[in-house]
Amino acid sequence: MTGTLHRALGLTDEEHARIVEILGRDPNELELALYGVMWSEHCSYKSSRLHLRRLPTTGERVLVGPGENAGVIDAGDGIAVAIRIESHNHPSAIEPHQGAATGVGGILRDIFTMGARPLAVMDPLFFGPPDGARQRWLLEGVVSGISSYGNSVGVPTVGGELTFDPCYAGNPLVNVLCLGALPVDRLVLGRASGGGNLAVLLGATTGRDGIGGVSVLASAGFSGEADEAKRPNVQVGDPFEEKRLIEACLALLDAGLVVGIQDLGGAGLACATSETAARGGVGMDVDVGAVPRREPGMAPWEVMTSESQERMLAIVTPGSWPAVEALCRRWEVRASVVGTVTEDAAHPGRLRVRDGDNVVGDVPAASLADDAPVYDRPMHPPADLDRRRSDDPTGTEAPADCAAELAALLVDPSWVYRQYDHQLFLNTVVGPGADAALLRLAGPGLPPSERGVAVTTDSAPRWCAIDPRAGVALVLAEAVANLACVGATPVAVVNCLNFGNPEHPEVMWQLSETVDGLADACRAFGLPVVGGNVSLYNETTGADISPTPVLGVLGLVDRLVERPPPMALVPGSTVVLLGARRAAGRSPHPLGGSRWAVECRGRRHGALPALDAAAHARLAAFVASLVADALGGGGSVLCGVHDVSGGGLGVALAEMAVAGGSGVRVAGVDGHAELFTELPSRVLAATDAPVELCARAEAAGVPASVIGTAGGPRFAVEGLVDVSLDELTASWAGALARRLEPA
């Protein structure tokens, strides 16, 4: 009968044969289910692992790199920072509120599993244009899910992204990044060790929710009517349970009561038990009969693969069990011994599943965790690649009315982030709405420090669709610039690779190009990749999403005692553009892949501007040092700063004008092309000391040009735009509400 069951469980005939080989016999139903979930794309990365190996992962600050639950960086002063990014795309498409909420719950567990207290969340979101009822339902649901879970569990959401593109209409993307901090000496890893030690299940009871959820959901694209069948898998999050779980787990770690700890995420107990055992090179006996149930009549395989939320697996010595029990009781967290660590010389490293006294499954733990097949899937570039790249929007005729098209590119995302607590812990110096979030490096249980951490999430599917390799490099450059604008030096990268169907050779080509582009760019900026996540099968009835790598970049600030110059214009100040104004080569102001070309002209093809990593790093270091002067309390030559990114110079200027409530008069901008080009490596600065700023820029090898003066009631770019600031502000502020809450 297992002859067909393995297919239903998402295993190919070859994979089934491999399992038979590993076991030396036919697997039973439970064993097949274990392999089914553990060898799924979601848990095993079988299509992407081969490529991910090419990413640079080492650096002198890296304490823990990819492979563990989260990457960990040494931030100094005895404090380590843990960071991780995850996707919850498919669950969110089926039930946006719960899908997004459980996405937040899952990423938090990855962080406090490392011993870190979760201190901040970021949420890059991608939807179709929010004009139909379905897109509004998705956006409302996702945002309310993140809001209700994140706010209640007590972790501020300090930033994110919001991108609308038709390619996400059927398959929205919900990525969540979490950052936590811990005293370096509390760092723990998800390892089991010590024969006879106890495996203790902490937290919620186990139900049928999410059985095969992640695996089934994440490994099969959407085909309209099939959604119905998938619905029973929906998981409901309980932020109150998670809050108690966080406090209990951190208290257990502070008290030194656990040997190892691991969250239960995709593939539930099957994953947590096999991974902790495999990492520790030991075996584990698990008794499904000892697992507290929420529902009657669950089969052992259901208990092992259930993805019920808010559960952790802790490895504790028999001697400390009473203390563990007592501490969990205080926090009203359920704790049950569900297994023991085994070091059986005769059969080392076995995961033995019992139901009471009879053994219902017995497999090598490492074969579940590590022996999943690695696929080198066929890949090739899209047939029409050259045609696409030559179809360049640069040089399309100037708009009749630049002002209108500029206004159309302005979006105030506060409709989203007003629904998020972004202030808890009193650390948020710069919250959502600026270039990057800037936080004091402080929190309950951390040693005192004057340092700061900054974090930004960035993506640009419109670039990556044109050229995944160059596109992702430009995205990393933008992230570095965003950090510089809040005075931070980048130290580590996490990435969430959202792609289409890996069985389509173009998609595998996109993935491979993206990895190479990211690897090269990371080397160029001297940044390690400390973690990531891959989400494949983001497609709707055969149509793949644009390649969507989302980067989270962590930055550090040595001394944070004063606020940075805002992302705003100050009336009377001089506006200076830092960085080269013209691209080398034929077109000085390329428009390929720009928001203007895509959103105002519907031109999605062309060539991307080139990135000069060395020049970009010089600019970023220069800007970061000027802002850091202010952070350290030494004042700054800057009174406002903002990098030029999506929408180009026009949008960056407008965002600063609106934020500062100040008009501006700018001259010498070379037509709509310079107004809208997304040429990288440019930062807008407002200053009261333009001479000094330009002198210091020259000394630092950074081009600088005075382009205008802030002040007055109008936003004017000579020969291109002349509108009242109020008008501009209104279109910016109302952009989302107009579409989401049509009267």
Ligand X SMILES: Nc1ncnc2c1ncn2[C@@H]1O[C@H](COP(=O)(O)OP(=O)(O)O)[C@@H](O)[C@H]1O
Closer of 25 and 563 to other proteins (Cβ): 563
Tell me if 462 sits within 8 A of 532, measured CB to CB.
Answer: no
Q: Please return the burial class of 323, using the count of CB atoms within 10 Å of its CB with bins 0-12, 13-18 and 19+.
A: middle
Tell me if 303 sits within 8 A of 291, measured CB to CB.
Answer: yes
- Binding-site partner at residue 195 among other proteins, ligand X, Mg ion, none, CB < 5 to 8 Å by type: none
CB of 645 to Mg ion, least distance (A): 5
Closer of 123 and 310 to ligand X (Cβ): 123
At 639, list the tokens.
């009174």
CB of 207 to other proteins, least distance (A): 6
Closer of 238 and 435 to Mg ion (Cβ): 435
The vertex-442 CA angle with 440 and 445, nearest 5°, equals 175
Length reported for the chain: 743
Closest CA to 286 of 213, 372, 192, 209: 192
Interacting residue with ligand X among 59, 65, 150, 160 (CB under 6 A): 160
Per CB under 5 A, which region of 180-188, 365-373, 379-387, 477-485 contacts Mg ion?
477-485
User: Should residue 477 be labelled a site residue for ligand X when binding is judged by CB under 6 A?
Assistant: no
Per CB under 5 A, which region of 32-40, 406-414, 428-436, 494-502 contacts Mg ion?
428-436
What is the three-class DSSP state of 388? helix
Give the C-alpha separation, 562 to 630, whole Å: 6
User: Should residue 645 be labelled a site residue for Mg ion when binding is judged by CB under 5 A?
Assistant: yes
> Side chain identity at 492, as an amino acid letter?
A
What is the three-class DSSP state of 389? helix
Site track 131-160 with Mg ion (rule: CB under 5 A), x = hit: ------------------------------
For the chain, the farthest-separated pair of C-alpha atoms sits apart, in whole angstroms, at: 84
CB of 156 to Mg ion, least distance (A): 20
Whether 642 is catalytic is: no
CB of 659 to other proteins, least distance (A): 14
CB of 300 to other proteins, least distance (A): 18
Per CB under 6 A, which region of 71-79, 157-165, 223-231, 576-584 contacts ligand X?
157-165
Interacting residue with ligand X among 238, 435, 467, 520 (CB under 6 A): 435
- Binding-site partner at residue 433 among other proteins, ligand X, Mg ion, none, CB < 5 to 8 Å by type: ligand X
Closest CA to 641 of 490, 482, 489, 488: 482
The bridge status of strand 529-535 relative to strand 489-498 is parallel
Closer of 235 and 731 to other proteins (Cβ): 235
Backbone angles phi, psi at 129, to 5 degrees: -50, 130
Interacting residue with ligand X among 55, 104, 162, 249 (CB under 6 A): 162
Category of 56 on φ-ψ map: left (φ > 0), alpha (ψ -120 to 50) or beta: beta
Closest CA to 552 of 465, 683, 471, 454: 454
CB of 239 to other proteins, least distance (A): 6
Tell me if 426 sits within 8 A of 696, measured CB to CB.
Answer: no
Closer of 43 and 125 to ligand X (Cβ): 125
Helices (H), 454-504: 461-466, 468-484
Q: To which residue do tokens 């998402």 refer? A: 10
Closer of 10 and 646 to ligand X (Cβ): 646
What is the three-class DSSP state of 312? strand
Tell me if 69 sits within 8 A of 175, measured CB to CB.
Answer: no
Of 42, 51, 504, 642, catalytic: 42
Tell me if 376 sits within 8 A of 44, measured CB to CB.
Answer: no
CB of 523 to ligand X, least distance (A): 23
User: Should residue 456 be labelled a site residue for Mg ion when binding is judged by CB under 5 A?
Assistant: no
CB of 684 to ligand X, least distance (A): 12
Q: What stretches of 65-207 adopt beta strand conformation (E)?
A: 71-76, 79-87, 117-127, 157-164, 173-183, 198-203
User: Should residue 606 be labelled a site residue for ligand X when binding is judged by CB under 6 A?
Assistant: no
Of 6, 88, 97, 672, catalytic: 88
Q: Which residues pair with 452 in a beta bridge?
A: 440, 557
Give the C-alpha separation, 541 to 551, whole Å: 27
Closer of 146 and 464 to other proteins (Cβ): 146
Note the residues at the interface with other proteins (CB under 8 A).
94-95, 98, 144, 147-148, 151-154, 204, 207-209, 231-232, 234-241, 243-244, 294-295, 308-309, 331-332, 417-429, 440, 444, 560-563
- Binding-site partner at residue 636 among Mg ion, other proteins, ligand X, none, CB < 5 to 8 Å by type: none
User: Should residue 429 be labelled a site residue for ligand X when binding is judged by CB under 6 A?
Assistant: no
Residues 115-144 that bind ligand X (CB under 6 A): 123, 125
User: Should residue 416 be labelled a site residue for ligand X when binding is judged by CB under 6 A?
Assistant: yes
Whether 347 is catalytic is: no
Give the C-alpha separation, 95 to 217, whole Å: 12
Q: Any idea which residues carry the catalytic annotation?
A: 42, 88
Residues that bind Mg ion (CB under 5 A): 435, 482, 643, 645
Residues that bind ligand X (CB under 6 A): 123, 125, 157, 159-162, 413, 416-417, 432-435, 458, 482, 645-646
